[in-house]
Structure 1
């Protein structure tokens, strides 16, 4: 979907989220603790939210949210982000965006 690609390419880190999702919150807190400030896009506040959710799934996100993009590329959902973090591969991706 055009909106997803546009937001991901114009911002260093984007998390597509839902305001009621505890996994989304957990990923947001992780990024906060790693001193990065991603754009949080709450799809449940967007009238096109259902279409965005479907598009994220079609793009390969294992769960529609959270969907994390770093440097315009889809990293994945909670499992992928946590796996990258545990393996030590997440911080090098975030380093250019750390405060």
Structure 2
């Protein structure tokens, strides 16, 4: 396995909520705002600010079949992008994932 994929898996494993993001992306900002609003800590990796950000995004596309950011994981489960996060919030799936992870939240 490549070092980049190992880095991705390690990051997802070590953080209850991981957002692979770009600092200028409005959808990424919206996803981070949602977690801020429900008082959930997350690890955001701004791919445009990392030297190997392009490689990380390519590896994420291989792992998740999603080429865009944000690319969101909760409790090691791939939630998807901004629209998927909103759907998970509306359906109750997000609350379930957060509760299963033992994360206190405002949902």
Of the three residues 72, 90, 97, the one matched with 1:93 is 97
Residues 18 and 44 of structure 2 are in contact (CA less than 8 Å); yes or no, is this contact kept in structure 1? yes
- What 5-or-longer segments of structure 2 have no aligned partner? none
Equivalent pairs counted in the alignment come to: 99
Q: Does 1:21 align with 2:30?
A: no
Normalised by the length of structure 1, the TM-score is 0.90
Aligned to 2:52: 48
Q: Which runs of 4+ in 1 moved over 6 A?
A: none
Q: Larger Rg: 1 or 2?
A: 2
- What 5-or-longer segments of structure 1 have no aligned partner? none
Residues 34 and 98 of structure 1 are in contact (CA less than 8 Å); yes or no, is this contact kept in structure 2? no
Give the root-mean-square deviation of aligned CA atoms. Answer: 1.4
Normalised by the length of structure 2, the TM-score is 0.84
CA distance in 1: counterparts of 2:77 and 2:92, whole angstroms: 18
Aligned to 1:31: 35
SS of residue matched to 2:44: strand
